[in-house]
Chain A
């Protein structure tokens, strides 16, 4: 029960069937977790269900896409003064039970941001389709090369962050397919990134938003974005925070 409070940022769009157990799962962990669900223009009862289960709900007036929704969640965390945050998806593929494991390195002060990686350790639970796996490997290698730090999973949206990470993502978060670029952003800002092996569950409801053609488009777009981002100048978040 002791220690600073932790905010769980959960972006969700049309996840009325899945969001309840996600919120309940986080709140059931221990007493220090709060949940904010960012409803990204849902047309179903996502917001109402999340509120019923005890989450704070931020409803975007229209669909911003996953990046805009996640950023909104971190803006909420920043304005409420949370020192620790976790992020997990609203569709149920991230197991809230893994959150303490994700948080541990941040709490020990060993990392500013910890990503739950499906490929960091031995892992037999998660086997994405070939095209997706190729994409994941491609980006992991590319980001590792660009930043000279080994990362195994740049597309994971399962993360834990300290105040520095929250401030960074609240101020600047990529838009369309954000996780890969966000990984680069973290390393370019010299925040310490660590990975923890996690299992991911199959989606409990609905279908993944990534189809084959979209994967191709996604890979091209994100690769371009990565190279452009390499040549962008960054200010450290501490500097930015000063008025």
Chain B
């Protein structure tokens, strides 16, 4: 059996984690999509800490005989790794989108300048456009 104090401390920490995640979702500061992993983490940790015989059972399966609460750390670490990996994929996706946006903006800007250069009746706008995008040309 897990010592009561460890169980209690771990359970309180897990509940706090779940509450914070729920609050962040409520305040729209965390997208549900990312919140799900966090919630699962919190719930699994809560179950592991509250189910006092469970830790020993799982430790027994995995051959951990000296200190069953180490399973708590193992589970937490595993989730952290999964979360980090998840973030790497999110970052990659954002990076790709960022590139696409930069390319679209650049091509649109070129098109805009081309059109502005062709249209005869807009001298001020053309001047403003050049000032905006090619300040170094003037400096030279």
Q: Could you list which residues of chain A lie within 8 angstroms of chain B, going by C-beta atoms?
A: 38, 44-45, 47-48, 51, 56-62, 64, 68, 71-72, 75-76, 79, 175
Contacts and interface: CB of A to CB of B under 8 A. Distances in A.
| Interface footprint category on B | 10 to 19
A68 B136 contact: no
A198 to B, nearest CB: 28
B81 to A, nearest CB: 21
B133 to A, nearest CB: 7
Interface of B: 99, 102-103, 105-107, 109-110, 114, 133-134, 136-137, 140
Closest 9 CB pairs of A and B: A48-B137, A58-B110, A72-B103, A60-B106, A45-B136, A58-B106, A68-B99, A61-B102, A48-B134
Contacts of A64: 99, 102-103
Given A48-B136, A58-B107, A59-B110, 5 more contacts: A59-B109, A60-B102, A60-B103, A61-B106, A75-B103
B136 A59 contact: no
B129 to A, nearest CB: 12
Interface hub of B103, B110, B134, B140 (most chain A Cβ within 10 A): B103
Contact of A57 (B103, B110, B136): B110
Contacts of A57: 110
Contacts of A62: 102
A79 B104 CA distance: 11
B109 A45 contact: no
Interface hub of B107, B133, B134 (most chain A Cβ within 10 A): B107
Nearest to B99: A68
A47 B130 CA distance: 12
Contacts of A56: 110, 114
Contacts of A47: 134, 136
B103 A68 contact: yes
A68 B102 contact: yes
B136 to A, nearest CB: 5
Nearest to B110: A58
A62 B103 CA distance: 10
Contacts of B114: 56
Contacts of B107: 58, 72, 75-76, 79
20 contacts: A38-B106, A44-B136, A45-B136, A45-B137, A47-B134, A47-B136, A48-B137, A51-B137, A59-B109, A59-B110, A60-B102, A61-B105, A64-B99, A64-B102, A64-B103, A68-B103, A71-B103, A72-B103, A72-B106, A76-B107
